A and B are shown apart, each in its own frame.
Chain A
Amino acid sequence: MGNSSRCTSTHSSMKEYRERELKWLSVVSKMDVGTVEKDNKLKKLVRSGIPASIRAKSWQFLSRSREYQKPGLYKTLLQGAKSSVHDVIEQDVARCYPNHVHFMRRDGEGQNDLRDVLSAYAQYNPDLGYCQGMHCLAGCMLMQMPAEDAFWLLVATVDRYLKGYFDPSLSQIRIDTVVIGELLREHQPKLARHLESNGVTPIMYIPSWFLTAFTLSLPWSSVLRLWDVFYFEGVKVFYRITLAILEICKDHLLQNCPSNSELLAFLLHIPHKYLGPDLLLETAFRIKLSKSDIAKYARKASIKDASVAGLPFEPGLENLKVGQNQSTSSLPSLKSLSGISKRVKPHRSQTSGPHTLPKSSHLT
């Protein structure tokens, strides 16, 4: 369990902050990411928050974004022809974190970088192109690191952590809404009944949570803490945070939201006072949740649920392999990519050992 310490600059916490900063510097510069993922002490350290000064490096390290990196490719992609999704990107660039100093100026540096990162991605992975929500991911990355680093982190994030979520059929988010429904019935049966009887289903709130990696729904201090853990433990954290949000809000939803209107109005605009980082993460990691349960519900949904029947559930299972207890580091999958990306060979500089995923990974 995280020790709930925060990255504040009070005298009492400064020493601790410096110690954690040193620890992290040593982790990202000296250690092998495959070893780090199996280290329970580091897992606890991540859950208590990565120091802001090391955050960008840590996300890149944990996501293995450097393995995807190919020198010069980012600039080449930017020189490519405008893709068909150019107009959609342009619209979202102008309305991404509009109140953030980095993005508020029309065609300022922040907006230009965001446009570049998203356009380059659409060129890099034309099958996926651009999907709304990715601008929130790229924007959050650009608050932490330069554009080229943000681009490769986006590549790694979509390919290793969020396969299937931004596809043209939005297959994974549709499967997840069914999975969350099942998990909710299991973990919060009373709340699940209340929501269901009022016609509130996860598809009404999960897309805006998952496809933006919670950046539009949580206070920013919670977003950063969540992203720290996400890069260490993978998408399973999204399910945990979802169950935690609903657990924290349960009493309010049951007592003060008697109908569909009140429930949805609350769920889509939860006051930030409920969702501070310490309570949210502590609740999330107290919940007993296994990857095999998530996988089981995803398989079941793909077979039985009419709304998602036939959609591929395998990408979701791949996503679950990210994180601790993975016995080997994984080779970035470029199979789903086409066009220019087919020529890209992942550049490996930090990994050792076999580079294939285990045939039957042990999901815990």
Chain B
Amino acid sequence: MPKDILKVVIIGDGGVGKTCLRNQFIHKRFTSSYKATIGADFITKDVHTDDGRKVTLQLWDTAGQERFQSLGVSYYRGADACCLVYDTTNFQTFHNLERWRADFLKQSSLPPDLLEDFPLILIGNKIDIDDRVVSRRQARAWAQQHSSPRMEIRCFEASAKDGTNVEEAFSCIAGMVKIPQLEFDMDGSDSFHLNRRDDSLRGRKSCAC
């Protein structure tokens, strides 16, 4: 049986920490010596569901500079979900989410009736830095404004540096796509298991931030 592949695209301004969030999720570590992503980078993580299915998370990490959005169509096509990332210490990166979201939906080649319900999450990175300029209330308001009755945009405040909420955010998006009511249960190996739990991540009304 072919395994399920969930394609998740990570977008947002340059320097907000897209690559670091991804690396924290995959490798459980943070390094300050990272490189700018040119074009797109790509990494996969195999996860197992409790009914024995193997699911591959394909994380597409994209370049943050605006001009690279002209390449976006080739990276966005066929995406199952999208992580919008901003920097909680830089208001402009939050302001630009509007443009990132619109551009993603425009270039994703989705049928118009699916656009509204497309799975998105919001991640405010760098909460380990005591210099916040984007409030939780602002993030929640943005998420609510862009949610639809069938698709609530969850928002997370995270730190790629100390790992806060990173696992939760990526678990959430994996759950939103195809396999609701799941959590990641780390077993220390390169893959980990998805178990059912009662309080579905998808069903929650409140934001984690």
Contact = CB atoms under 8 A, between A and B. Distances in A.
Specify whether A and B are partners. Answer: yes
Interface of A: 88, 91-92, 95-99, 104, 131-133, 135-136, 167-170, 173-174, 199, 201, 203-208, 211-212, 216, 259-261, 264-265, 268, 307
B58 A132 contact: no
A88 B42 CA distance: 22
Contacts of B70: 169-170, 174
Interface string B48-82: 00000000101000011101101101110010000
B44 A88 contact: no
B204 to A, nearest CB: 30
Contacts of B67: 131, 167-170
Contacts of B197: none
B191 to A, nearest CB: 13
A261 B33 contact: no
A205 B38 CA distance: 9
Contacts of A131: 65, 67
A159 B196 CA distance: 58
10 contacts: A131-B65, A132-B64, A133-B38, A170-B68, A201-B74, A204-B74, A205-B39, A208-B40, A259-B5, A261-B5
Contacts of B56: 261
B38 A132 contact: yes
A261 B47 CA distance: 14
Nearest to B35: A95
Interface string B4-33: 010000000011000000000000000011
B38 A260 contact: no
Given A169-B67, A170-B70, A268 B42 contact: yes
Contact of A204 (B36, B39, B44, B68): B39
B38 A212 contact: yes
A189 B33 CA distance: 39
B185 interface: no
B13 to A, nearest CB: 9
A221 to B, nearest CB: 19
Contacts of A91: 14-15, 36
A98 B35 CA distance: 7
**What's the interface size class on B, roughly?**
20 to 34
B65 A132 contact: yes
Contacts of B37: 208
A91 B67 CA distance: 16
Contacts of A95: 33-36
B71 A207 contact: yes
A265 B43 contact: yes
Nearest to B15: A91
A262 to B, nearest CB: 8
A307 B75 CA distance: 13
Contacts of B34: 95, 98
Contacts of A265: 42-44
Contacts of B33: 95, 98-99, 104
A257 to B, nearest CB: 12
A97 B87 CA distance: 23
Given A91-B14, A170-B67, A204-B75, A211 B39 contact: yes
A88 B14 contact: yes
A142 B140 CA distance: 45
Contact of B63 (A132, A216, A268): A132
Contacts of A260: 5, 58
A268 B61 CA distance: 12
A204 B38 contact: no
A207 B67 CA distance: 12
A174 B40 CA distance: 14
Contact of A216 (B32, B35, B43, B78): B35
A169 B129 CA distance: 35
A167 B32 CA distance: 29
**Residue in B34, B41, B73 whose Cβ sees the most chain A Cβ within 10 Å:** B41
A211 B36 contact: no
A307 B41 CA distance: 21
A88 B65 contact: yes
Contacts of B43: 265
B35 A132 contact: no
B36 A96 contact: yes
Contact of B42 (A97, A99, A204, A216): A204
